[in-house]
């Protein structure tokens, strides 16, 4: 199979995997995955992505305990049912602690450009976010080529301080998401995708996307 065919296969066959077989992931595989992530393009080539690799239970428990406490506080303040909240906390605890490896994806904006106005500074920050997201897509495809599975969880955005404090991250690292990784215990579900006509606009054709839903 050609490299192009392998890439197309990885893009088409990748699925979010939430359940893994027990056992560690080889450190060299994690390093290959991260090197692939770092080949992503980035604004000004500033490469703002940063990665914290959790492959020991203590780190994962510390992270998910802090996140669970914040989730309880926030959801309780929202007036949500306590049993529903606790079910969510327990489910998240299992998903994170039972994953052989967890990569916490952060960004560091210190190398991004600075401007005297808020609008352009906001644009620079969003460029860093976009750059980091592109690295994560590379990461997910690399995981697939290693015959592993992964799932992205964006919960760190709701409690970045909890994530940073629980892991002792550098103050400049801003947590964005986490990725669980392991050998799939079962195949991921195929999720439907919108049709091309619902999301693409060709100005010269004067055709506008139909309703997305």
Do the Cβ atoms of 100 and 150 come closer than 8 Å? no
Instruction: Give the whole-angstrom CA distance, residue 117 versus residue 199.
Output: 33
Residue length, the chain?
A: 213
Q: How far apart are the first and last CA of the chain?
A: 37
Question: In this structure, how many other beta carbons lie within 10 angstroms of the beta carbon of residue 40?
Answer: 17
pTM for the whole structure:
0.92
Q: Any idea where the domains of the chain sit in the sequence?
A: 3-205
Identify how many contiguous H helices and E strands the chain contains and give both numbers. Answer: 6, 4
**What phi and psi, each to the nearest 5 degrees, are found at residue 31?**
-65, -40
DSSP code for 146: T
Q: Provide the pLDDT for residue 1.
A: 65
**CA-atom Rg of the chain in angstroms:** 19
Identify the CATH number of the domain defined by range 3-205: 3.40.109.10
DSSP assignment of 103-134 equals EEEEE--TTS---SSHHHHHHHHHHHHHHHHH
Tokens read off for 76: 């309780």
Do the Cβ atoms of 169 and 105 come closer than 8 Å? no
Tokens read off for 68: 């669970």
Q: 177 forms bridges with which residues in the sheet?
A: 105
| Angle ∠(15,134,208) on CA atoms, nearest 5 | 80
* Regions of the chain where pLDDT drops below 50: none
The dihedral through the CA atoms of 171, 173, 177, 178 has a sign that is negative
């Amino acid at each position: 199979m050609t490299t192009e065919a392998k890439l197309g296969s990885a893009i088409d066959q990748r699925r979010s995997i939430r359940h893994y077989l027990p056992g560690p992931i080889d450190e060299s595989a994690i390093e290959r995955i991260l090197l692939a992530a770092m080949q992503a393009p980035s604004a000004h080539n500033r490469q703002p992505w940063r990665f914290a690799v959790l492959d020991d239970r203590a780190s994962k428990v510390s992270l998910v305990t802090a996140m669970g406490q914040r989730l309880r506080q926030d959801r309780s303040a929202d007036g949500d049912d306590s049993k529903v909240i606790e079910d969510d906390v327990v489910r998240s605890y299992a998903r994170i602690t039972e994953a052989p490896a967890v990569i916490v994806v952060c960004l560091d904006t210190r190398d991004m450009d600075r401007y005297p106005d808020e609008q352009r500074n906001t644009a620079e920050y969003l460029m860093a976010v976009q750059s980091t997201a592109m690295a994560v897509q590379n990461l997910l495809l690399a995981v697939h080529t290693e015959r592993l599975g992964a799932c992205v969880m964006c919960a760190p955005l709701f409690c970045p301080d909890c994530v940073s404090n629980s892991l002792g991250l550098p103050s400049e690292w801003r947590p964005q998401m986490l990725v669980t990784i392991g050998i799939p215990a079962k195949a991921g579900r195929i999720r439907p995708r919108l049709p091309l006509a619902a999301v693409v606009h060709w100005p010269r054709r004067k055709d506008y996307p139909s309703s997305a839903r």
